[in-house]
Structure 1
Amino acid sequence: MIISASRRTDIPAFYSEWFINRIRAGFCTVINPFNRKQVAYVSLQPGDVDVIVFWTRNARPLLPYLSELSARGYRYYFHYTLTGYPLMLEPYAPSVEQSMVNFRELAGMIGADKLIWRYDPILVSDITDYEYHRRNFAALAAQLEGFTRRVVVSLADEYRKAASNFRKLAQQGITVRTDYSGDAFADLMTCLSTIARKHDMEIFSCAEIYDLKPYGIFPGKCIDDKYLRAVFGIQVAAGKDKSQRPACGCVPSKDIGFYDTCLHGCLYCYAGTYHAAYKNRLAHDPVSPSLIGWYEA
């Protein structure tokens, strides 16, 4: 079983104490995000876990526990989001400077092969236009060279929760574009691909409905059976995770997070809003079997 920690929230940044408590207990419970009366028991025993996939913008709170995870026999790797967007788009995310320090320290602890950079999503707007992304991606890639081997990109979508934030931005005179076409778009995709390879990184897309292959960006799997075999020497089922979006190529995993619990407040987020997350945070107990509240299976 592959544990996803988590597509729904940032467990390393905000719930590291809870996570290590669940590792020590050997299990956690997961609430159905659409029906809280449905609660699943998830074993976290080392013998039941093939690998743990962490998704984060800030791994620092988890760093003190990584040696314990390794000593207990767990395999793990990180998807690490670092976009460096203006503060009004990512109001509570770590600064680029602090993110670079954290990213590099993590790479030194676990190795560049187990740390995947996410420039995700690519948000095209009045304050982050195509030229902005060329400069921004190039600057970040140069600083991350040698600390990662792979970068994942995707294009911003109008998810229900993000669409509301996009409308608020429009009221401030900032328009977000979600129609991706034309020569300028093609030039940007080609540019990102060229920059990534210049800095010794493979570049892949994530659950992308647009065909980016002509620009050198091929469909990726964020949870990838071939990657797991190459990096960890393990064999996992190669089938598609049917619980994910149609364009997602990931193999099956069990997500232990909960929506509306991430406090970064990114305005393009599909997994929740800051106000709902703040409310749910008040219901968090680091010794509970579940991420919020106290739910037993």
Structure 2
Amino acid sequence: MIISVSRRTDIPAYYSPWFWNRLRDGYVLVRQPVNERRVSRIVLHSDVVDGFVFWTKNPAPMLPRLGELEEYAYYFQYTLTAYGSDVEPGIPSKRECLIPAFQELSRRIGPERVIWRYDPVFLSSKYTEAYHVRYFAELAAQLAPYTRRCVISFLDYYPQISRPMAALGLKPFPAAQKRRLARALAAICRAHGLQMETCAEDLDLAEYGISHGHCIDKTLFEQLLKQPLLVKRDANQRPACGCAESIDIGAYRTCRGGCRYCYAGGANREVSRIHDPASPLLGGYVRPEDEVYDRYIASCRSPQMVLDF
């Protein structure tokens, strides 16, 4: 099974000590998002975990201990946008921290395992098409030697982000305008030798050389493992999502980044207060009323075959 770390929160940036403790102890507990009294116990041993996908805006806290992942296949989905602190108030300086961290991570694990995410893309009175093109080009010039592909998506207007986004003066973003901006960004990627993909987008941008992506990527894991994976598309994601099946070990409302566009919800103060790096749960502890059960997890690797890439 592939483990997602995590779509729900930024574990590398804010909870790295907790993750390393979970890896050391060989298991993690995860509350069900809908029924919080149901807690699953997930084994993290390398014989059943086919790999990790780390989602982050700042991997720097993880860099000193990457050697502890030696037994696992893994890669990073690394979000670096052109937004300022009005949109991403809790994110460190791109120039001083995030771009150097991107480059260092790539030097450590290789550019094919550091995927640049420029998402979500939206328009406002400040963040215009011209703004995106200009700053995307600046980022691409600095990141291109350290990655192989860039993933974009356009902002989905979930109800929970309407209030935090209201003050930004959002502009309409019709499909024709999305196509025009995507075409410009794709041209920048081509100039730098980067492949561009979309994340869970219905919009077909193939005419600009942009393919539909698979952020939890079966093919990439097969290349890393040199074995085929018998894994299906994740049916629990949106119809346009191409991700392979995975188990997410994060928790909603625990991310401290404060990004205005985040559909997963900002950090709940109580959850942050009770976080214990030694606890098997990301937020707090097992309660007397909780029902803890072992979630079945098995490797999806096909032992009969070895792939030669």
Aligned match for 1:85, one of 83, 86, 101: 83
Name the structure 1 match of 2:164. 165
Instruction: Report the Cα distance in structure 1 between the residues aligned to 2:21 and 2:120, rounded to whole angstroms.
Output: 31
The answer to whether 1:269 aligns with 2:269 is no
What's the % identity of the aligned pairs? Answer: 44
Name the structure 2 match of 1:15. 15
Q: Which amino acid aligns with 1:283?
A: I
Name the structure 2 match of 1:45. 45
Aligned match for 2:170, one of 155, 176, 179: 176
Per-residue CA shift, 1:1-58, capped at 9, x if unaligned? 1000000000000110000000000000110011111111100011111001000001
* 1:238 Cα offset (Å): 4.1
Closer, same or farther in 2 for the Cα pair 1:43/1:14, shift >3 Å?
same
Instruction: Report the Cα distance in structure 2 between the residues aligned to 1:151 and 1:217, rounded to whole angstroms.
Output: 10
> TM-score, normalised to structure 2's length?
0.89
Name the structure 1 match of 2:124. 125
The answer to whether 1:54 aligns with 2:47 is no
**Counterparts of residues 149-228 of structure 1 (less than 5 Å):** 149-167=148-166, 169=167, 174-177=168-171, 179-182=173-176, 184-228=177-221
Instruction: Report the Cα distance in structure 2 between the residues aligned to 1:269 and 1:279, rounded to whole angstroms.
Output: 19
Q: Which amino acid aligns with 2:107?
A: G
Instruction: Report the Cα distance in structure 2 between the residues aligned to 1:248 and 1:185, rounded to whole angstroms.
Output: 18
Q: Which amino acid aligns with 1:294?
A: Y
Per-residue CA shift, 1:135-167, capped at 9, x if unaligned? 011000000011000110000011122122122
User: Secondary structure at 1:176's aligned position in 2?
Assistant: coil
Name the structure 1 match of 2:305. none
Aligned match for 2:274, one of 283, 287, 290: 283
Q: Which amino acid aligns with 1:26?
A: G
Task: For structure 1, list consecutive stretches of 5 or more residues without a partner in the other structure.
Answer: none
> TM-score, normalised to structure 1's length?
0.93
Name the structure 2 match of 1:293. 284
Instruction: Report the Cα distance in structure 2 between the residues aligned to 1:19 and 1:112, rounded to whole angstroms.
Output: 23
Q: Which amino acid aligns with 2:171?
A: R
CA contact (8 A) 1:79 1:116 kept: yes
